[in-house]
Amino acid sequence: EDQVTQSPEALRLQEGESSSLNCSYTVSGLRGLFWYRQDPGKGPEFLFTLYSAGEEKEKERLKATLTKKESFLHITAPKPEDSATYLCAGISGGSYIPTFGRGTSLIVHP
């Protein structure tokens, strides 16, 4: 059974304090690892798709990386507006249904 586990469940940072969120997965024949941002009262917003180990993608203060067992979402010098829940999901080769983790709730204090 495919599984995606995110850690920590919650993270509090001071503005400017860089950190990383972890997404470990056991997805057979991984064909995509997705990161989403979800603000309170809104739907998940797509951030990145990673396809193979070693791949990296960046957007503003966020950088997503992928290894054979896990993905990291690095947040460099975060700002309060980066506060949100970050979800990751993995999808296997033969499926169009991703397996979602439960998310990491990030709060960045000014």
Partner 1 sequence: DAGITQSPRYKITETGRQVTLMCHQTWSHSYMFWYRQDLGHGLRLIYYSAAADITDKGEVPDGYVVSRSKTENFPLTLESATRSQTSVYFCASSPGERGGKTQYFGPGTRLTVL
Q: Where are any strands of DSSP class E within the chain?
A: 3-7, 10-14, 19-26, 30-38, 45-50, 56-59, 62-66, 70-75, 84-92, 99-100, 104-109
Candidates 46, 54, 81, 110: give the one binding partner 1 (CB under 8 A).
46
Instruction: Using the rule CB under 8 A, give the single segment among 18-26, 36-44, 52-60, 73-81 that binds partner 1.
Output: 36-44
For residue 45, the minimal CB distance to partner 1 (Å) is 7
Q: Taking Cα atoms as reference points, which of 7, 10, 22 lies closest to residue 83?
A: 10
Candidates 8, 16, 20, 45: give the one binding partner 1 (CB under 8 A).
45
For residue 17, the minimal CB distance to partner 1 (Å) is 26
Residues 10-29 that bind partner 1 (CB under 8 A): none
For residue 89, the minimal CB distance to partner 1 (Å) is 8
Q: How far apart are CA 108 and CA 105, in angstroms?
A: 10
